[in-house]
Amino acid sequence: MNIANFPYYIGCPSWSENAWRQSLYPQDARPNDLLALYAQVFNAVEGNTTFYARPKDITVERWAHVLPAHFRFTAKFPRDISHGGDLREHLSAAQDFLKLLAPLGDRIQPLWLQLPATFTPHRLGELATFLDALEGQALAVEVRNMGFFDKGEGERVLNRLLLERGVERICLDSRPLFSCVSTDPAVLHAQSKKPKVPVCPAALTRFPQVRFIGRPELEANQPFIEQWAVKVAGWIEEGRTPYVFLHTPDNIRAPDLARRFHRHLMTLLPGLSDLPTLERGPEVEQLGLL
């Protein structure tokens, strides 16, 4: 089975980690070639970079040139939109962001709206107006306020709001990260930044979204990996197309963790082939022409 025909999307938080030259990319790969190389192995990526800074027009054009049609880029709305106060005041900026990414066409889906912990159930009216203004655009929302995780009215209203609009709720699983007792600065930094919220494996649409924040020791993630593989296999068998993104604290081993997840999923879905492996050597120069 070619990666273009995989029944789900799998990827990492980014594509431009220089440390991956030791495990994923050829050692002499040029920086501008990394996205094209990444897209030969994975069929999706979290667009974390757009949360921190909008790309230049020429950068988006380059992405559009190298990414295959089957690839999915889940770009995040910039933080000045998602974290800048009332969402209704940023609709013009959101529309401009969509126009900026338009050259990527269907490869930009869904767009992610990652809301801060200060976004409470009392602000759901803002979210409804924001989503309605972007009707027709594939979207997914991540919430971090505990009022959306208590099985109470806030969570019920959120899920109903998203379901009625065909918007997915992103599930973040940080259990592996917070099960790790370590003095490693990368682990401590990740634990200080990532939310510790209950796991809510929603499937409100055909495209469930999972963000898995793993431990640096790959083997320690196995019990969690097995749970998610069963869930993802079940979604696929229901006719859904899940997105699964795998992180490690510094993301140096994120591609290895993604491979580990995929290989376990292969045991549950006969016929699913392994992720491709990049060739090394002279072929790199040919890829550089992209």
Sheet holding 9-12, edge to edge: 72-75, 44-47, 9-12, 243-247, 209-213, 168-173, 139-142, 111-114
Q: What is the CATH number of the domain that holds 71?
A: 3.20.20.410
Q: Give the span between the Cα atoms of 210 and 230, in whole angstroms.
A: 13
192 burial level (CB within 10 Å; 0-12, 13-18, 19+): exposed
Say how far apart CA 241 and CA 249 lie, in whole Å.
Answer: 26
A 10 A CB-CB count for 203 gives 17
Q: How many domains does the chain have?
A: 1
Domain that includes residue 21, residue range:
3-288
- Digitized pLDDT (tens) for each residue of the chain, 290 residues in all: 789 999 999 999 999 888 898 789 998 889 999 999 999 999 999 988 999 999 999 999 999 999 999 999 999 999 999 999 999 999 999 999 999 999 999 999 999 999 999 999 999 999 999 999 999 999 999 999 999 998 889 999 999 999 999 999 999 999 999 999 989 999 999 999 899 999 999 899 999 999 999 999 999 999 999 999 999 999 999 999 999 999 999 999 999 999 999 999 999 999 999 999 987 554 444 444 44
What is the pTM assigned to this prediction?
0.93
Residue among 248, 188, 238 nearest 212 (CA): 248
Tokens of 3: 């990666």
DSSP string, 177-224: HHT-----HHHHHHHHHS---------SSS--EEEEE--SSGGGGHHH
Residue 144 burial by Cβ neighbours in a 10 Å radius (0-12, 13-18, 19+): middle
